[in-house]
Every structure is written in structure tokens, then in C-alpha cells.
Amino acid sequence: MSNLSRDLVEEIHSRVPITSQRAVRSTCKRWNVLSKDQNYTKHLGPASKEIMLIMIRGCRAHLMSVNLHGVHNHKYLVDTSIKELGKLNQVEIFEVLHCDGLLLCVTKDYSRLVVWNPYSGQNRWIQPKSNTFHTLDRFAIGYDINNNQKVKVLRFYYWSDYVEYEIFDFKSNSWTVLDVTTHWKIHRRSVSLKGNTYFIAHERFKVDQQGEFLRCFDFTKERFGPRLPLPFHSCLDDSVILSSLREEKLAVLFKKCDACDMEIWITTKIDANTVSWRNFLKVDMQLYPERFRSPCRSFLVDEKKKVAVIFDIDRKTWTNYKPYMVGEDGYQGEVDLRDSELWMLMCSYVPSSVKIQ
């Protein structure tokens, strides 16, 4: 095994599901060392050829692979589907957040958190200060870029005019209250990118006049960055959803509550202090009156094929979320989930060998 060429070893690894990589690494010392190379993990077969994502079904997290190879010249073909690569754990999960290959999972009973790397199999449990976390608690995960990618977890809590922010330190195994004062409020799902986390926020008392905007939490400085503009004017009743493109770019979906157009924008530049956008997709939803009448839960983007998969409420059950694909010229098609159970898209996933302290 040790004498095989690197190209052949990479080909072998590319055929193994992410959830079985831990067993592959135990084959020999050379394979184990190679698997920890960041450049190597970026070129794993599933990561480079298909879009991977984390979905929840029945309070269990699942790693899924999205096959959009059926899309050609914006024509819908029958093999466009989502398939399951494996179950990630046996813990009942309420929410999953992703940052550079690491997953922050919130348990269903809010009793604890777990930071987990599905690729390496490494995990770390995080306990609350008291007996349990609060149902109003929100979380984010990122890392310190100046300290060997030291992983950190942010917790924040809103109640009326009271706001509290805390950082969990893995070395001391404790929570530290941050001396941060904000005059705005975060109210939508966050997305992590390159170690930082981005939020949709609004002013507390001038929501409609000021509109919503983007805020970045810098895990290196442990501070929020300046207000960053969104490429549209939105308010609380509108659909505004963040997503990421392979840990490289940020995407945002926007649909005004009283309009028919749905837009998706992608960043051309983004960091804690600056952002610029380009329009990726615009669809006239008047052509599809049975779709997207309520705010969708989440979405993902394939930039090369110029299509988006959007999880919208199922009109038959009004509980399940079903994936639909939209593209240029109003293209649309349903994506096959291969079963009728409740699925909910949480986030996209990119494998990484990042270590948890």
C-alpha cells in the first residue's frame, strides 16, 4: 500500500464515501498523513464532482450528494437527484451550522452542542453554563485565522432590549461574555465563510426605513465588522436567505413579499469590512403560481450550470420541504429526493482536515 503512487491513492480515496474515510486512514501511515493535507481534501472526488450538503430528517443529520449532471443547456433531464451518502450521527439534532468542514450541531433538547468533523470523525461536546441552553439562543461557528485556525463558537441571546454575546473557548472549556454593544438585531439564519460568520440584520426601531443589511462577526478579533450593504432593499416580511458556494463565495436569495420576481446574488468580493455583488439569477414567479408562495427555507447554487436548488414547502403535505430547481429563462424542475419523508436542507458541506482543539 505504501508504494502506490499519490495519483492512484487519490483515485482510491475519491471512490470512498466521506463517512468511511476514517477507516481508509487506518490502512497505513502514509495514507493517514496524506488525508490530513488540506490541499488533498479539497480534491476528494465527492467534493470536486458533486455538491455535498447536510440535511436533517427525523432529527438526524445526513450527508447528501446533489447530482445536477442531468442539467444540460438549461433542459431538465430525469437523472437530476439527491442521494444519501450516509448518516453522520445518532444524536437528535435540531439545527446544523457549517464552517470549513466543521459542523456545529444543536441538540433537539437544547441540552448541549457538539462540534464535529465528519471527515476525520473528531468531535467535541460543549456544555451550557446552566443546565440547558435557551430556545432563544442562536449560535455561530468560526475560527481565528491568526492562531492556527483555532475554532470558536459564538452564542447570542435576545430578549426585549436585553442582548448577550458569549464566546466558547475550547482550551479553557468555558464561556466568556463579550463586551459588545449593538443597536441592531439579527433575525435570520447565518452562514460561515473563511472563518467568519455573516448575518442578516436590521435596526431595532427603524426596520422599514433603513432596510436590512449584512453584518460579519470576525472570530479573530471577536468583534462585529461594519454594516455591509445588500444588493436590494428588504424588510422583515420579505424572503432573504443566505447560502455559500464551496466556502468561497456568499449567495443571497431575495423575494419581496408583494412582488413576483425572485433574485439570487453572488459576491464578487467579501471580507469582514467590504462586500460587492453581482446578479446571478432572476426568475419571474408569475409563471409558477403553485411554487414559492411562502418563504422558502434554504437554497444552494451551482454557479457553473447557473441553476439553484430551492427548498420550498410541499403543497400536498404543507409540512415537508421539497427541492425545486430554477435557472435562466424561468427554467424549473423538481429534484428527486427518492423518498417522501421529511427532509430539511441545513447547509452545504465541504470536507476538511481542520482539527478541533
Q: Got the DSSP string for 130-198? A: SSS--TT-EEEEEEETTTTTEEEEEEEEEETTEEEEEEEETTTTEEEE-----SEEE-S--EEETTEEE
When the pLDDT of each residue in the chain is averaged and rounded to a whole number, the result is 79
If pLDDT is split at 50, 70 and 90, which confidence band does 315 have?
low
Give, in degrees to the nearest 5, the angle at Cα 7 between 4 and 12: 75
- Beta strands at 102-107 and 93-99: parallel, antiparallel or unpaired: antiparallel
Question: What pLDDT shows up at residue 139?
Answer: 95
**How many Cβ atoms sit within 10 Å of the Cβ of residue 294?**
10
Q: What is the pLDDT of residues 134-188, one digit of tens each?
A: 888 999 999 998 877 789 999 998 877 778 899 998 888 899 999 988 888 887 8
Q: Average pLDDT for residues 318-324, to the nearest whole number?
A: 68
The residue ranking higher by pLDDT, 75 or 336, is: 336
Q: What percent of the chain has pLDDT over 90?
A: 25
Segment of 23-27, 91-95, 125-129 carrying the highest mean pLDDT: 125-129
Task: Return the closest-CA partner of residue 311 out of 265, 278, 342.
Answer: 342
Check whether 282 has a pLDDT greater than 50. Answer: yes
Question: What pLDDT shows up at residue 45?
Answer: 46
Question: What pLDDT shows up at residue 214?
Answer: 95
Task: Return the closest-CA partner of residue 321 out of 354, 286, 346, 348.
Answer: 346
Three cell numbers, residue 177: 461574555
The residue ranking higher by pLDDT, 208 or 230, is: 230
Three cell numbers, residue 97: 451550522
**How many Cβ atoms sit within 10 Å of the Cβ of residue 298?**
22
Three cell numbers, residue 60: 438526524
Three cell numbers, residue 240: 432573504
Rounded Cα–Cα distance for residues 106 and 149 (Å): 22
First vs last C-alpha separation in the chain: 31
Query: Which residues, 6+ apart, have CB-to-CB distance to 159 below 8 Å?
Result: 136
Question: What pLDDT shows up at residue 42?
Answer: 55
The residue ranking higher by pLDDT, 337 or 251, is: 251
Q: Are 141 and 106 in contact (CB under 8 A)?
A: no
Question: What pLDDT shows up at residue 75?
Answer: 45
Q: What is the pLDDT of residues 185-210, one digit of tens each?
A: 887 889 999 999 999 998 876 655 66
Q: Average pLDDT for residues 121-140, to the nearest whole number?
A: 88
Question: What pLDDT shows up at residue 79?
Answer: 43
Q: Are 342 and 320 in contact (CB under 8 A)?
A: yes
Q: What is the pLDDT of residues 44-86, one digit of tens each?
A: 544 455 677 888 877 788 887 776 665 555 444 434 456 666 6
Segment of 153-157, 333-337, 353-357 carrying the highest mean pLDDT: 153-157
Q: Average pLDDT for residues 347-355, to the nearest whole number?
A: 80
Lowest mean pLDDT among 61-65, 260-264, 288-292: 288-292
Three cell numbers, residue 85: 451518502
If pLDDT is split at 50, 70 and 90, which confidence band does 21 have?
low
Tell me, rounded to whole angstroms, the distance of Cα 200 from its chain centroid. 14
The residue ranking higher by pLDDT, 324 or 249, is: 249
Rounded Cα–Cα distance for residues 104 and 357 (Å): 14
Task: Return the closest-CA partner of residue 337 out of 107, 67, 81.
Answer: 81
Q: Average pLDDT for residues 251-263, to the nearest whole number?
A: 87
Question: What pLDDT shows up at residue 77?
Answer: 40
Q: Average pLDDT for residues 17-37, to the nearest whole number?
A: 71
Q: Average pLDDT for residues 98-112, to the nearest whole number?
A: 90
The residue ranking higher by pLDDT, 277 or 61, is: 277
The residue ranking higher by pLDDT, 27 or 228, is: 228
Q: Average pLDDT for residues 331-335, to the nearest whole number?
A: 66
Check whether 246 has a pLDDT greater than 50. Answer: yes
